[in-house]
Amino acid sequence: MTPVKLYPPKSDKVYFFGTCLVDTFYPEAGLDGIRLLEREGIEVLYPEDQTCCGQPAYTSGYQSEARAVAAAQLRLFPEPWPIIVPSGSCGGMMRTHYPQLFSGSEQEVLAGEVASRVYELTEYLVHVCQLRLEDRGQPEKVVMHTSCSARREMGLGETGPMLLARLGQVELVEQERAAECCGFGGTFAVRHPEVSAAMVEDKTLAIEATGAGHFVTSDCGCLMNINGRFDHQNKAVKGEHIASYLWRRTS
């Protein structure tokens, strides 16, 4: 795989942008992502004033509101350290859309500078940390679901599977039409619930058909959506953020 950008040497310090869904629903995923970085000898700084990246407003067409939310984040990363995001969706917003959102404004230069330092967690672990993993878990099959934003906005369709392939006791099995959306899509699931429900139904059927009892993903929106559908179906298949999965099997 050709990296999507030129990667720097591993930094002694990084910022961690936790995302709204991690903060509200999956704090352990954020903590496990931090633990993985710290185990690599990296000091992780978590700016306490961080809130939302602005993506929900931006993708709903409210650019001025998105700009106001995003502007508050730009001030949180004054040092030239990498900004690690445990989500391809939020990472894609910050890296790809911040320069567009602030184009022509007084914050254009700052937005571009911040965007240039944004890395999705699995991207940083693979391409910068060159992460090695000693699997201490039991043998099992697992399915990887990579979000649309990670694939299409950040070009990171393979970093999650690459990490899972480094776990010696894990058999990574691929679902049919692995690149298809789970139907969450941020506010899409709220604005088009019937379509979203049909899409996530297809996704759960594809995961279940692999015979794996477990799936992992690098985006908490997808995790919440797919897990919710499995719960609604009373199925035993369970999902986990990849940070938590990696930490649990190697700690």
Domain boundary among 80, 110, 127: 127
pLDDT for 18-77, tens place per residue? 999 999 999 999 999 999 999 999 999 999 999 999 999 999 999 999 999 999 999 999
Structurally, how many domains does the chain consist of? 2
CATH number of the domain enclosing 204 = 3.40.50.11810
Q: Residue 46's domain spans which residues?
A: 13-127
> How would DSSP label each residue in 59-107?
HTT-HHHHHHHHHHHHTT--SS--EEES-HHHHHIIIIIHHHHTTTSTT
Residues 6+ apart with CB under 8 A from 63: 57, 101
Per-residue model confidence (pLDDT) at position 3: 42
Whether residue 221 is contained in a domain is answered as yes
Task: Indicate whether 180 and 118 sit together in one domain.
Answer: no
Whether residue 8 is contained in a domain is answered as no
Per-residue model confidence (pLDDT) at position 162: 98
Task: Indicate whether 121 and 139 sit together in one domain.
Answer: no
Domain boundary among 96, 127, 158: 127
* pLDDT above 50 for 157: yes
Whether residue 6 is contained in a domain is answered as no
What pTM, to 2 d.p., does this model score?
0.95
Whether residue 7 is contained in a domain is answered as no
Task: Indicate whether 105 and 39 sit together in one domain.
Answer: yes
Task: Indicate whether 109 and 150 sit together in one domain.
Answer: no
Round to whole Å and give the CA distance between 204 and 62.
Answer: 32
In 3D, which of 74, 70, 48, 47 has the Cα closest to residue 57?
70
pLDDT for 118-137, tens place per residue? 999 999 999 999 999 999 99
Sign of the dihedral through C-alpha 97, 103, 107, 109: positive
Tokens of 114: 């911040």
Whether residue 5 is contained in a domain is answered as no
Average pLDDT over residues 144-157: 94
Neighbours of 235 (CB within 10 A): 13
- State whether residue 25 is helix, strand or coil: coil
Average pLDDT along the chain: 95
Round to whole Å and give the CA distance between 83 and 102.
Answer: 19
Asked whether 68 and 78 are in contact (CB, 8 A), the reply is no
- State whether residue 180 is helix, strand or coil: coil
Task: Indicate whether 138 and 113 sit together in one domain.
Answer: no
In 3D, which of 70, 27, 30, 25 has the Cα closest to residue 51?
70
Domain boundary among 68, 94, 127: 127
Whether residue 1 is contained in a domain is answered as no
Task: Indicate whether 92 and 186 sit together in one domain.
Answer: no
Whether residue 230 is contained in a domain is answered as yes
